[in-house]
Structure 1
Amino acid sequence: MATEALEAIHEVARRHKMTYDEYRILKDWLISVGEDGEWPLFLDVWLEHVIEDINTSHRTGNKGTIEGPYYVPDAPEMGSHAKISMREDEKGESLRFQGQVRSTDGTPLGGAKVELWHADADGFYSQYAPGLPEWNLRGTFTADEEGRFQIDTLLPAPYQIPTDGACGKLIAAAGWHAWRPAHLHLKVGSQGHEQLTAQLYFPGDPHNEDDIASAVKPELVLDPKTVDGIDGKVVDYDFVLDPLS
């Protein structure tokens, strides 16, 4: 695989008749990715979606997508029906996210773990931005005996990936934008089943069609509704997990 990757780079250089000046710019940029600590960002944004497609192509349950760079394990346990950790004055529209975890044969998966994390209304993640409580908008929820869960949180905001380092230079040079659509991150797992990693998106976001990370799939776009007696929006979304082979 390493040889094929190098051969692909060689072909690009030949096709575009790369000059030594261009080569030096490329070499300096690759060095700056490491110096800026942005290799995880670069790989998660521009490569992970392909790796995810390859490694989950066999699944018949829910579609997943990339994890991204902002996952933190061991978020506090909240139970099956709970409000996620947030500041008292947290900005944003209320969102109730609820559903059921099942196996592909329809069996409810009681005790399944649902990890949820997302950006705040300003597009920032706790533990990756200053001034936020450690577990802000992060939690682990355990489905009840019927595999059901209900999580009260807030609608996240779209945000730009960092543009002040080497990845930002690439974006500017290529004439791309740096935006990710608003999304919820989830990891869902149950004993004897493959863990699902997903990002769930919202209809009408202008960057669903041109996500810088190429991670949006039609099956991952939610359908929020207004329900009498409940503040904000309500989303019903079930997870179907593939058994381990």
Structure 2
Amino acid sequence: MRDGEAGTPLVFQGQVTDATGQALPGAVLEMWQADDDGLYAQFAPGIPEWNLRGGIVTDDEGRFAVTTIQPAPYQIPTDGSCGRLIAAAGWHAWRPAHLHLKVSAPGHQTLTTQLYFKDGAYLEADVASAAL
């Protein structure tokens, strides 16, 4: 992240396991997220290309820890066909704050998901219907 990245500090830590609960040492966790203004690198001007994007390899017990900031909710574009659909349906255009995760390990299927924050804004009405 940028030096002096604005936002509430967040340590995201855990353990990667297989479906039976066995630790997966050497698993790769890729993570990307919006910043404190709800903007993503590579999609908003003035943000360094790989800001708040990265990867980490789990330790011998499948554990990891990432120091970052809590992302903000953000509004999806309301122009073009997407905007017309949102307007016609009477929806709002907001996504709840979340972390994007992609976890891979040799011999296992790659998992791509999003992790939301308890009691976060827009969880019950995510325009993408992804926070269920």
Q: 5+ residue gaps in structure 1? A: 1-85, 218-245
CA–CA distance in 2 between the matches of 1:121 and 1:179?
15
Q: Percent identity?
A: 62
Q: How does 1:1-245 map to 2 (within 5 A)?
A: 86-217=1-132
CA–CA distance in 2 between the matches of 1:174 and 1:105?
42
Residue 90 of structure 1 aligns with an amino acid whose one-letter code is E
Runs of 4+ in 1 over 4 A off after TM superposition: none
Which protein has the bigger strand share? 2
Asked if 1 retains the 8 angstrom alpha-carbon contact of 2:86 and 2:92, the reply is yes
CA–CA distance in 2 between the matches of 1:178 and 1:165?
13
Residue 212 of structure 1 aligns with an amino acid whose one-letter code is V
Deviation at 1:153, TM superposition (A): 0.4
SS of residue matched to 2:31:
strand
SS of residue matched to 1:140:
strand
TM-score (norm 2): 0.96
How many residue pairs match? The answer is 132
Residue 110 of structure 1 aligns with an amino acid whose one-letter code is P
Deviation at 1:167, TM superposition (A): 0.7
TM-score (norm 1): 0.53
Between structure 1 and structure 2, the one with the greater Rg is 1
Deviation at 1:145, TM superposition (A): 1.2
SS of residue matched to 1:209:
helix
Deviation at 1:163, TM superposition (A): 0.6
Deviation at 1:105, TM superposition (A): 2.4
Which protein has the bigger helix share? 1
